[in-house]
Amino acid sequence: MVFFSKDTSAIPTFTYDGTPLELVTHFKYLGFTLTRDGSMHTAAEKMADNLRLAIARVYRTGSSKGITHRKHAMLWLFQVFALTAGLYGCQVWATFSLTYDSSVTTRAHVLHLGFLKKLLGVKKGTDTHCVLRKTGQMPIFFYWFRYTIRFRNSLLSSNYPLLETIVQADLLLVNRNDTWACQVLHAPRFSCVSAFFGCPTIS
């Protein structure tokens, strides 16, 4: 795959076995959508759609089992079906939202909080941290961050030469704001996050 963010008239023709390859504006790969300029915003929007559909599945499952009034059960269904859908591939497409401030504008954050507030039966304007503490949840960027760091650690411990080369090349671009390494290594310090969250206290 080759990405171009500028004038497409200057794009050379690539061939495979003598056949010119098709030039496309977007391409679905391993479940998420890549665009020609390499931006992950489209992929993030598509994955938010998956989260929305998964939340709808949670409601349908809860309704069919007659457990929509049981907050613990609905939250468990959310963790199993919906949250996992919102995390798929986040190591790649969510790195530009690894801070609380940058994540609150994402659809995934809005959908996450919307489900939790509806579950608790509170107003839309209820403070986010109160809702998260009551349900024992973390902000969605925290889950993204955890998955991304696990992925980064696996890259650093790999003994596969190609992966080692890719990691080294990415580290050379760490001072560029639009690179994966920069976004990951400049992710927030979480020393203040633990003060907001404790054990679930749903009643």
pLDDT number for residue 1: 58
Cα distances (Å, whole numbers) of residue 92 to 33, 72, 159 = 11, 31, 21
Task: For residues 30 and 73, state if they share a domain.
Answer: no
Instruction: Report if residue 142 sits inside a domain.
Output: yes
67 with 151, same domain: the answer is: yes
CA–CA gap between residue 14 and residue 198 (Å, rounded): 54
Chain segment 2-43, per-residue pLDDT in tens = 665 665 666 777 788 888 877 777 777 777 777 777 677 888
Number of domains in the chain: 2
- Considering only residues 56 and 197, tell me which one the structure prediction assigns the higher pLDDT: 56
- Whether the model clears a pTM of 0.75, i.e. scores above it, the answer is yes
Residue 57 lies in a domain: yes
Instruction: Decide if 202 is inside a domain.
Output: no
Decide: 62 and 77 in contact? Cβ < 8 Å.
yes
Q: Does 128 have pLDDT greater than 50?
A: yes
Q: 16 in the Ramachandran plot: left (φ > 0), alpha (ψ -120 to 50) or beta? A: beta
Tell me the CB-side half-sphere exposure of residue 115, using CA atoms within 13 A.
30
Judgement on whether residues 68 and 134 belong to the same structural domain of the protein: yes
H or E element that contains 38: none
Q: How many CB atoms lie within 10 A of CB 140?
A: 26
Does some domain include residue 33?
yes
Q: In terms of pLDDT, which residue wins out, 151 or 187?
A: 151
User: Do residues 121 and 102 share a domain?
Assistant: yes
> Does residue 201 fall inside a structural domain?
no
For residue 68, CA distances in Å to 46, 112, 120, 122 come to 27, 17, 11, 16
Residue 171 in any domain: the answer is yes
Residue 52 lies in a domain: yes
Residue at 191 is within a domain: yes
In the structure encoding, which two tokens stand for residue 24, read together? Answer: 């496309």
27, 48: one domain: no
Looking at the fold, whether 127 and 117 belong to one and the same domain comes out as yes
Whether residue 102 is found in the same domain as residue 17: no
Same-domain check for residues 119 and 192: yes
Q: By residue range, what is the domain housing residue 91?
A: 40-196
Unique residue bearing structure tokens 């890719």:
166
Beta bridge partners of 27: 34
Residues 30 and 76 placed together within one structural domain of the fold: no
**Per-residue pLDDT tens digits for 91-105:** 888 888 888 888 888
CA 27 to chain centre: 18
What is the C-alpha separation between 188 and 158, in angstroms, rounded? 25
**189 and 168 co-located in one domain:** yes
What's the CA gap between 36 and 26, in Å, rounded?
6
8 Å CB contact between 93 and 47: yes
Query: Do 100 and 9 share a structural domain?
Result: no
